[in-house]
Amino acid sequence: MKKKIVILLGVFIGFLSLFYGINISQKSSIYISGPEIKNLINIWEDQTGRPPIKKEIDMIIDNLIKEEILYHEALKLGLDQNDKIIKRRLIQKLEFYKESENLNKVKEENLIEYYNENIDFYKLNKRYSFKHIFFSDPKNNYEDIKLDLLDTENISNKEIGEPFIHGDSFIDKDKTAIDSDFGSGFSENILNLENNIWYGPFKSIYGDHLIYVFEVLPEEIIPFEDAKQSVIINYSDEIKNEVMNNYIYSIIDKYDVIIGEYK
Amino acid sequence: MRYFLVLIAVFIVSCSDSSQETKDFSIKDKKEFIKSKDFNENKNVYFGDLHVHTKHSFDAFIFGTTNTPDDAYKYAKGGTIQHPLGFDMKLRQPLDFYAVTDHGFFMGMMPAWADPNSKPGQHPYVKTLHNVNRKENLTVESSPERLYYFRELIRSGAFAELGSIFSIIKAYLTNNNSFAVDVFDYDTHKSAWSDVANAAERHYEPGKFTTFIAYEFTASTEGMGNLHRNVIFGSSKVPIRPYTRIDSLNPEDLWNTMDKWRENGIDSIAIPHNSNGSNGRMFEIHKANGSTMDTQYLNQRIRNEPIVEITQVKGTSETHPLLSPNDEWADFEIMSTRVGSVPPTYSRPDGSYVRDALKKGLMLEQRFGGNPYNFGFIGSSDTHTGASSFDESNYFSKVGILDGTPVGRGSIPIPQEQLDFINNLSDEQRDIYNYVDYDGQKYMRAGFDEWGASGIAAVWAEENTREAIFSAFKRKETYATSGNRILLRFFGGFNLDDIDLNSSSLISELYKRSVPMGGNIINSNNSIPNFIIWTKKGVNGANLQRAQIVKGWIDDRSAEPFEKVYDVVCSDGQEVDQVTQRCPDNGARVNIADCSISADVGDEELKTFWSDPDFDPDLKAFYYVRVIENPTCRWSTWDALRAGTKPRNDLKPTIQERAWSSPIWYIP
């Protein structure tokens, strides 16, 4: 780093002696964007019901150039300073633009209010903990197997059934998670089983399963503090939409809205 | 003069090496309500995507994407977000982990350039982009204009034009070359990076859903050889800005930077992708600058790049028919061109595919004592809409407005109205947006027809936390799928023939006595290595047709590499032919007229014990598993079916979805 600074200072001193005092004339550039021209052409067409001819397009571009030049000159002369109309317009633009930044500074009470109003988003679904015994080929003695399991409730059931690639025990799985592991709709089999009893067989896309539910956790509301990050995300989404909608509703009366044929 | 020197002094003091400045993005008061209850010492499988672009990527925004990192995570968790063309995108099954990996270079700049009210938007070069993604501009008809402006922006030299002498000096002193580029704005860039990082932190739910702070290092060679990597961080503390192609085009410089981050307590990995489009440059046998490899290079590369992305929307990089002429499944979703080349330019296969790299790795190990290609596999999507597109029957491709319709991606003929539109474009626009004739019909000529609904990253980890999954990446206990959620276990070791495949303690036994995918097995009294392969179809996938072992090895004297594909277990109770090492045809077919598939053919599960029949204890070798599903309709056939048109003759009508395990290496 030090070496870089020494090198640079040397280069600077050299260049300063060369350039100091030289007045480089600068030419401002004006850029007229394609979409802007196209947009004005479309507006012309909407207004008059016909596309502009070459001469008229030239006039549109000419006007844009003049507008840009006058705008730049006005800025150079400082005519934008202390102009109430420009001030108000800029403040309005800034307020609109800053909405997104304000989201980072949302107040806790807004979040709590949003959380309470949308409490359904912050619920944990009913969750099931269960074990299962898997048979890739259907058996015809499931009732006997279940009786055996009853007799040997406290001993391991390791010798019955086949290993399942997802494992034998599933903890705190909701409906979607169960369907993810066993296939769509499989969870329906489990939803209303009594605890600590072997049920089945139930068919999954892989084969037959005997199921033993040992814990069911009810639907639960996540406390605000724990859900806060999700609340911030959802609240921010809503505010963004609200800001846009409010803005649109505030100006929509100025337009006649015409929707084209689409059927 | 005195004032000027004081100014310089203040300026210099304010400079420091920005590539090594760090920031901790963790959310201090974040509560972890979902405690990790699925801890499993025998490991659970988790599915995810480590390659996702949002509006902060220049080539996502320009093609209509306004979805944010927050939107991307919402989608991964099962939510609905919108495609740039207005339709809803939703996953059939939520994912377990996700990483937004926007392009590091010019991250966040494109949305700022398009905003006429922003400071960066005032630059003359970018005024054509103003309001490009206003709702009324999000149309298919805007495609040629977008492509044209995009090309002109690159051609204009905007990315290379230097700013003031002060910005050049600042770039030099802070090791941040981006400062020197006139259209660049550091505040905008850092704010986009903060958005990426903060979204990852906000959406991380340990035990339920994992996120990673990440970005893409988008380097390339002269002639558009793709050297892209995704950099994935293992923690909430990360550099204050991404190290990008503006800093260096040489991946070795990225690894040096990653090594320095690691010294400062920030662990990361780089995942190369689209080696298929690298024109042979991703997996070379010498360094990027042409010099001979050395131990430092070999070790540094594998330390920083333990896994590679073997499949994604822009094709699969496992192998190529020219590299593997004896592999009947090698011609799978091949993208033949270099990434981003205009006009599309052929990419040389040698050095572009991972199986070839695994073989080269053995050769390099023989010569230099280290293997830079000792890597595992993942798949990911590389979506540029924030939403991965994995489903052949509901495919929306990658690049927003350009390929969000069947016409745009070339699967159905162009309607007359759109043909007229193209014919009326300027010559310059038709250069980049035009059609070709196939079989008497006109289709878009964009190369999107070689892309596909792939891929997924799968890991075996103890729990769904950032630490556990990142650790799985590093030990390569990962596998890839082409979009379906095939389950795959793979273990290797010696004297495993007494293991009961039907025992419920199978997995714990295997963890005790063998190594999982990604591991090494070392010669044990010249015993023949044994492997256990256990695979199940995904819940929305087709039945499985066969599981294969792909073996690569080298001759110990000539160092010449070889490969062989063995079918090791067949569906429907069929036996592998011991001479051809192939399963008989299981008869699975697809009815192209309605995309229905043969019922009751193929298996839900395949499980087997396998010993290498050609084993030579003196030869270095690797073994990986490839699982093949029964055939199903490819997305292009689904598109044609829905549109009531004939599928294109030159495109494969069906696909055999598959999974690839990370290899296990045998060390003599």
**Does residue B375 share a domain with residue B431?**
no
B516 and B425 in a common domain:
no
Q: Are residue A49 and residue A166 in the same domain, yes or no?
A: no
Q: Are the beta carbons of B127 and A31 separated by less than 8 Å? A: yes
Residues of B in contact with A8 (CB under 8 A): 12, 169, 172-173
Same domain (yes/no): A143, A210: yes
State the Cα–Cα distance between residues B92 and B75, nearest whole angstrom: 11
pLDDT band per the 50, 70, 90 thresholds, residue A25? very low
pLDDT per position as a tens digit, B516-556? 999 999 999 999 999 999 999 999 999 999 999 999 999 98
Same domain, B250 and B120: yes
Distance from CA of B604 to the nearest CA of A (A): 6
Task: Give B161's pLDDT tier (boundaries 50, 70, 90).
Answer: confident
**Which residue blocks in B369-437 are alpha helix, DSSP H?**
416-423, 427-432
Residues in chain A: 263
Is the pLDDT score of A157 beyond 60?
A: no
The nearest CA of chain B is from the CA of A214 a distance in Å of 15
Check whether B71 has a pLDDT greater than 70: yes
Which pLDDT band, with edges at 50, 70 and 90, does B420 fall under? very high
Q: How confident is the model at residue A22 (pLDDT cuts 50, 70, 90)?
A: very low
Give the Cα separation of A3 and A5 in Å (integer): 5
Contact A165 B172 (CB under 8 A): no
At B108 the pLDDT is 95
Of the listed ranges A127-131, A208-212, B285-289, the least confidently predicted one is B285-289
Domain annotation covers residue B538: yes
Is A12 part of the contact surface with chain B (CB cutoff 8 Å)?
Answer: yes
Please name the helix (run of DSSP H) or strand (run of DSSP E) that holds residue B486, with its range, or none: none
pLDDT at A263: 47
Candidate from B29, B30, B42 with C-beta closest to A167: B42
Give the domain range for residue B389: 42-394
| pLDDT of res. A21 | 43
Instruction: Kindly list the residues from chain B whose CB atom is less than 8 angstroms away from the CB atom of residue A163.
Output: 502-504, 506-507
Is residue B582 classed exposed, middle or buried when 0-12, 13-18 and 19+ CB atoms within 10 A define those classes? middle
Range of the domain at A47: 25-80
Query: Do A182 and B38 make contact, defined as CB atoms within 8 angstroms?
Result: no
Amino acid identity at A1: M
Asked if the Cβ–Cβ distance from B30 to A34 is below 8 Å, we say no
Judge whether A262 lies within some domain.
no
B78, B117, B605: residue with CB nearest A206: B605
Cα separation, B84 vs B101, whole angstroms: 19
A132 and A212 in a common domain: yes
Whether residue B540 is found in the same domain as residue B618: yes
Q: Residue A36: its chain B contacts at CB < 8 A?
A: 130
What pTM was computed for the model? 0.85
Number of domains in chain A: 3
Mean pLDDT comparison of A142-156, B131-145, B621-635, highest-scoring range: B621-635
Residue B471 lies in a domain: no
Distance CA B316, CA B325 (A): 16
Query: Would you say residue A58 lies in a domain?
Result: yes
For residue B148, being part of any structural domain is answered with yes
Residue A14 forms part of a structural domain: no
Regarding whether B490 and B618 lie in a shared domain, the answer is yes
Q: What is the mean pLDDT of residues B403-418?
A: 94
Alpha carbon distance B393, B390 (integer Å): 9
Closest CA to B419 of B437, B399, B403: B437
- Together in a domain, A58 and A70: yes
Nearest to B340 by CA among B249, B228, B431: B228
Which helix (H) or strand (E) segment holds residue B85: the answer is none
Provide the chain A residues 203-262 that lie in CB contact (below 8 A) with chain B.
205-207, 222-223, 225-229, 232-233, 236-237
Nearest CA in chain A to B169: A8
Answer yes or no: do B430 and B517 share one domain: no
Which residue(s) pair with B231 in the sheet? B215, B270
- Find chain B residues with C-beta within 8 A of A206's C-beta: 536-537, 604-605
- Taking CB atoms and an 8 Å limit, are B8 and A31 in contact across chains? no
When pLDDT is cut at 50, 70 and 90, the band that residue A97 belongs to is low
The answer on A184 and A144 residing in a single domain is yes
pLDDT above 60: residue B10? no
Asked whether residue A118 falls in the same domain as residue A241, the answer is yes
Percent of chain A with pLDDT over 70: 70
Residues B383 and B490 in one domain: no
Answer whether residue A73 is part of any domain: yes
Q: Are residues A183 and A136 in the same domain?
A: yes
Per-residue pLDDT, averaged over B284-305, amounts to 92
* CB–CB contact B539 A181 (8 Å): yes
pLDDT band at A61 (very low <50, low <70, confident <90, very high): confident
Q: How confident is residue B630, by pLDDT bands cut at 50, 70 and 90? A: very high
Give B37 to chain A, closest Cα distance, Å: 7
- In this structure, the answer to whether residues A214 and A130 fall within a common structural domain is yes
Query: In which element (H, E) is residue B628 found?
Result: strand B621-629
| Degrees to nearest 5, angle at CA B275 with B271 and B277 | 135
Together in a domain, A134 and A202: yes
Give, for A202, the enclosing helix (H) or strand (E): strand A198-203
Shared domain for B147 and B216, answered yes or no, is yes
Q: Is residue B34 part of a domain?
A: no
3-state secondary structure of B373: coil
Q: How many CB atoms lie within 10 A of CB B163?
A: 15
Span A171-177, mean pLDDT? 91
Chain B positions touching A165 (Cβ under 8 A) are 45, 487, 489, 534-536, 605
Q: Is residue B534 part of a domain?
A: yes
With a cut of 70, say whether residue A248 has pLDDT above it: no
Q: What is the mean pLDDT of chain B?
A: 92
Residue B11: inside a domain:
no
Q: Which of A167, A171, A229 sits opposite B30 (nearest CB)?
A: A229
Number of domains composing chain B = 3
- Same domain membership, residue A203 and residue A147: yes
Q: What is the CATH number of the domain that holds A214?
A: 3.10.50.40
Query: Is A227 close to B78, i.e. CB distance below 8 A?
Result: no
Residues on chain A touching B38 (C-beta within 8 angstroms)? 171-172
Task: Over range A170-196, report the average pLDDT.
Answer: 92
List Cβ neighbours of B139 (8 Å cut-off, separation of 6 or more).
B85, B401
Q: Per DSSP, what are the bridge partners of residue B272?
A: B229
CB–CB contact B31 A226 (8 Å): yes
Mind giving me the DSSP string for B504-526?
TTHHHHHHHHSEETT-EEE--TT
Contacts of A167 in chain B (CB under 8 A): 40, 42, 44, 507
CB burial of residue B281 (10 Å; 0-12, 13-18, 19+)? buried
Tokens, residue A39: 């947009």
For an interface test with A, the pick among B15, B25, B28, B33 (most A C-beta atoms closer than 10 Å) comes out as B33
Q: Are A38 and A80 in contact (CB under 8 A)?
A: no
Which residues of chain B lie closer than 8 angstroms to A171, CB-CB? Answer: 37-38
Q: Is residue A156 part of a domain?
A: yes
Tell me how far apart the alpha carbons of residues B216 and B229 are, in angstroms, rounded to a whole number. Answer: 6
Output B351 or B117, whichever has higher pLDDT: B351
Q: How confident is the model at residue A62 (pLDDT cuts 50, 70, 90)?
A: confident
Closest CA to B299 of B374, B229, B213: B374
Q: Are B256 and B371 in the same domain?
A: yes
Which residue in A38, A231, B554, A134 sits closest to A145, CA to CA? A134
A38 and A161 fall within a common domain: no
- For B536, the closest of A34, A179, A206 (CB atoms) is A206
Note whether A146 and A66 are same-domain residues. no
ipTM: 0.77
Over 80: is that where the pLDDT of B398 sits?
A: yes
Q: What percent of chain A has pLDDT over 90?
A: 25
